[in-house]
């Protein structure tokens, strides 16, 4: 299985269980790995047959700007479903880190894997 990935994408989003959190824009750090057959793009050297990293990153940013959730879990699940559908992906792994949640931890977040639900 071929994999395409984006690591360390910074995403601005309104998210949080507490009222003060939802009143501000917070930065999440996102790592995304997608299953994608790169052979058609490699054989033709044609971007239209590849998973366009710029389009993928832009879709993530637009999604983040259009939603507001209390839980990181909800954001992760909805973003995964959005990406699976929009890019016709067979599988993805999404890791989200929410900086500053716990001053004793370097990073706090979650990681999910989802297959396409066709």
Could you read off the pLDDT of 59-102 as tens digits, one per residue? Answer: 999 999 999 999 999 999 999 999 999 999 999 999 999 998 88
Could you read off the pLDDT of 39-68 as tens digits, one per residue? Answer: 999 999 999 999 999 999 999 999 999 999
CA gyration radius for the chain?
Answer: 15
Better-scored residue on pLDDT, 118 or 63: 63
Report how far residue 79's alpha carbon sits from residue 67's, in angstroms, rounded to the nearest whole number: 10
End-to-end CA distance of the chain: 18
pLDDT at 116: 79
Angle formed by the axes of helices 53-66 and 72-86, to 10°? 140
The verdict on domain 3-115 having CATH code 3.40.50.300 is no
Domain ranges of the chain: 3-115
Catalytically active residues, by annotation: 98
pLDDT at 103: 86
Residue 60: other Cβ atoms inside 10 A: 20
Report how far residue 3's alpha carbon sits from residue 79's, in angstroms, rounded to the nearest whole number: 18
pLDDT bucket at 20, cuts 50 / 70 / 90: confident
Distances in Å between the Cα of 97 and the Cα atoms of 46, 88, 105, 113 are 34, 25, 11, 15
């Amino acid at each position: 299985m071929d994999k395409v990935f984006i690591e360390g994408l910074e995403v601005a989003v309104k998210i949080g269980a507490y009222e003060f959190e939802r009143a501000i824009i917070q930065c999440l750090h996102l790592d995304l790995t997608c299953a994608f057959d790169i052979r058609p793009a490699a054989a033709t050297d044609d971007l239209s047959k590849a998973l366009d990293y710029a389009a993928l990153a832009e879709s993530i940013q637009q999604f983040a700007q259009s939603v507001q959730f209390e839980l990181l879990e909800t954001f992760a699940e909805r973003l995964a479903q959005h990406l699976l559908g929009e890019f016709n992906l067979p599988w993805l792994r999404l890791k989200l880190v929410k900086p500053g949640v716990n001053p004793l931890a370097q990073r706090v977040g979650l990681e999910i894997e989802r297959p396409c639900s066709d």
